Amino acid sequence: MTNIKVIKGDITTMHVDAIVNAANTTLLGGGGVDGAIHRAAGPELLAATMKLHGAQTGEAKITAGFRLPAKYVIHTPGPIWHGGNQNEAQLLHNSYFNSLTLAEQNNCHTVAFPSISTGVFHFPLSQAAKIATETLRDFLETAKTVTEVTMVCFDDTTFAAYQDALTQINL
């Protein structure tokens, strides 16, 4: 059974097994949701991510949640939008898919995602929401451990785009 929820809120307050961080390739913090997660988790998160030696776009790596209510943080660098002709859609799919795979491998039942790549990386929101919701739906159809995914949207525009994308894929 696919259980995808869309809420408006602050991902750093989510009581789930894992939250996903829309990271950059250094994994050492940045702006937007990445900076907020690093601030909320405390300096231990930076120390942990330094040991991971970065990640390629679309990859996912995991750390403890430290001071967050979530047990884990899954870090995935989403693609920077360059017009859509540099494999951005596949890379965004990979960010969601690889994050969920890592959640499964770490026995996570509940996972919360931000809208990956739609902030400073400028991925078009409606296209990103469609890719995200389709990837989540498809993964959950065969997932063994992950049973619930929450898309945590920071603002009304993002919330509306993900609600619309869920409606379009009949969830």
- Which residues are identified as catalytic? 34
Helix (H, G, I), strand (E, B) or coil at 43: helix
CA angle at residue 123 from 66 to 126, to 5 degrees? 105
- The whole-angstrom separation of Cα 136 and Cα 142 is 11
Q: In this structure, are residues 5 and 147 in contact, taking their beta carbons and an 8 Å threshold? A: no
Residue 111 pairs in a beta bridge with 18, 149
